[in-house]
């Protein structure tokens, strides 16, 4: 399967990498802001992990469905989850604070979106509409996870298995990111920093 079809999932992985890569810079930031940010990130990454797990379940149901109509229905349901994952991934960046560091990290990690990042408003809605939507649409169409899946163009079993591998990898990356957030919080913060 081509890179464009997995573009959304690659972008999410790069967002996770950028976020975790920013943790050392938080050592010089006011502790209460760091505590709030870690809680926010923990919630968003947990939501993403749940979404990848749910998407994987729908893809599994599609793989085992006996009829084309059944497969199309499960892909339709997978598309709903995929769309929610798009909303979740737009929350990864802390839009209410200075995003320049994270944007710079993203430009290094994902040079193909550098020009896009330079031309969008630094807010969640703009990021969702410009950066995420295109990749989400390509990925959704590639696996027919769309509002009206075409039963004559269903993805192959090999494609679905490859997608399952990507989803498992992303779920593991989310678990790893959550563990890094925990370790950072334990090393850098005290209980009173959260209040």
For helices 133-142 and 68-90, the axis angle rounded to 10 degrees is 160
Query: Quick one: pLDDT at residue 4?
Result: 67
DSSP 129: I
Do residues 131 and 116 touch, judged by C-beta distance below 8 A? yes
Place of tokens 């209410």: 96
Domain ranges of the chain: 7-188
Describe the chain by its helix, strand, coil percentages, rounded to 5.
80, 0, 20
Q: What is the pLDDT along the chain (195 residues), one digit of tens a residue?
A: 446 678 889 888 888 888 888 788 878 878 887 888 888 899 999 999 999 999 999 999 999 999 999 999 999 999 999 999 999 988 887 766 666 666 666 666 666 666 666 666 666 667 777 778 888 888 888 888 888 888 888 888 888 899 999 999 999 999 999 999 898 888 877 777 666
Closest by CA to 106, choosing from 115, 84, 153, is 115
Closest by CA to 142, choosing from 82, 67, 182, 60, is 82
Query: Quick one: pLDDT at residue 92?
Result: 83
């Amino acid at each position: 399967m081509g890179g464009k079809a997995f573009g959304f999932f690659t972008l999410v992985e790069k967002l996770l990498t950028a976020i975790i890569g920013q943790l050392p810079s938080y050592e010089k930031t006011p502790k209460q802001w760091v505590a709030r940010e870690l809680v926010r990130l923990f919630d968003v990454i947990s939501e993403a992990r749940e979404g990848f797990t749910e998407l994987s379940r729908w893809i599994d149901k599609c793989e085992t469905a006996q009829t084309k109509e059944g497969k199309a229905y499960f892909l339709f349901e997978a598309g709903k989850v995929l769309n929610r994952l798009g909303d979740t991934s737009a929350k990864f960046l802390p839009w209410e604070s200075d995003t320049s560091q994270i944007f710079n990290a993203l430009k290094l990690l994902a040079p193909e979106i550098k020009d896009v990042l330079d031309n969008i408003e630094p807010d969640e809605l703009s990021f969702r509409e410009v950066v995420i939507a295109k990749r989400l649409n390509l990925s959704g169409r590639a696996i027919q996870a769309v509002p009206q899946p075409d039963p004559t163009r269903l993805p192959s079993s090999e494609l679905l298995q490859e997608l399952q591998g990507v989803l498992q990898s992303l779920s593991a990356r989310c678990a790893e990111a959550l563990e890094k957030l925990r370790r950072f919080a334990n090393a850098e913060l005290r209980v009173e920093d959260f209040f």
